[in-house]
Amino acid sequence: MPGRKTPIENDHFYHIINRGLSDQKIFQDQDDFSRAMESISYYRHGRTPIKFSRFVSLSPIEKMETLREIGKNKPNIEIISFCLMPTHFHFAIKQLEDGGIAQFMANFSNSLTRYFNTKRERRGPILMGSYTNILIKNDEQLLHLTRYHHLQPYSAGIVNTLEELKNYPYSSLPEYLNPKSENICNTKIVMDFFKSSEEYKKFVLDRAEYQRELEIIKHLLP
């Protein structure tokens, strides 16, 4: 199915989605997930001097120097939330400069495909063509979208308890619940609507059972 595409404009938020061809698993083990997380963290900076596959082969000192140089660049996107699932992935992204989302998605998708194919000695695409992008029209939609992203592992049965969900390492939920100095996401945009991380946690988890039931019903429909 072709992805839904809307014109991408600066200073707007978008829901970005892509999935594996024929719903194949694009993240098949922990190493696949971890590599993708590192790739997201690297390419979110925008303009990068070398490919991620080259970056990971650098010495620790060379990595620090590269990241220091990249950090001087003005970012062209902000990632607000994300979730990696075995067969697909979601992002909420704000574009800051022309072509920012396209550049990030090209870098991330190419890195993901190259790693997957090299590891499994195969060739060809692993994703369903172009990603889907949907405009997020207001703050309320953005808040609900981050909640939807953060509940995905529980809704789909990837984790079985809310405690496991809170610690799911391949989404941005841990960043929202346990803020730290170095995050992939800009959580402030969402967290400014809440008094604390505890209040945001309640906002997310109070919807957990309802969203899971909707997911079950969806799969029962013809």
Query: What CATH number corresponds to the domain at position 157?
Result: 3.30.70.1290
Burial of 208 (0-12, 13-18, 19+ CB in 10 A): middle
147 falls within a domain: yes
- DSSP bridge pairs for 19: 88
**110 torsion bin: left (phi>0), alpha (psi -120 to 50), beta (else):** alpha
Q: What is the pLDDT of residue 1?
A: 39
Which strand ranges, in their side-by-side order, compose the sheet holding 132-136?
77-84, 88-95, 13-19, 132-136
- Phi, psi angles (nearest 5°) of residue 206: -65, -20
**Residue 138 belongs to what domain range?**
13-220
Which residue numbers in the chain have pLDDT < 70?
Answer: 1-5, 181, 217-222
Read off the tokens for 34. Answer: 């971890």
Q: Three-state DSSP class for 127?
A: strand
Using one digit for the tens of pLDDT, what is the confidence trace for 132-191?
999 999 999 999 999 999 999 999 999 999 999 999 999 999 999 998 767 899 999 999
Query: For residue 76, is it within any domain?
Result: yes
Evaluate whether residue 1 is within a structural domain: no
DSSP state of 3: P
C-beta of residue 146 within 8 angstroms of C-beta of residue 81: yes
Inside any domain, residue 5:
no
Q: What is the pTM of this model?
A: 0.91
Residue 7 domain-assigned (yes or no): no
Asked if the structure places residue 41 within a domain, the reply is yes
Angle at Cα 39 formed by Cα 33 and Cα 41, nearest 5°?
A: 105
**Which pairing describes strands 77-84 and 132-136: parallel, antiparallel, or unpaired?**
unpaired
Instruction: Please tell me the total count of domains within the chain.
Output: 1
Could you tell me if 45 and 71 are in contact, meaning their C-beta atoms sit under 8 angstroms apart?
A: yes
Cβ atoms of residues 122 and 29 within 8 Å = no
Give the pLDDT confidence score for residue 4 in this predicted structure: 57
What integer pLDDT is reported at residue 2 of this predicted model? 44
Q: Is residue 4 situated within a structural domain?
A: no
**Domain membership flag for residue 115:** yes
Length of the chain: 222
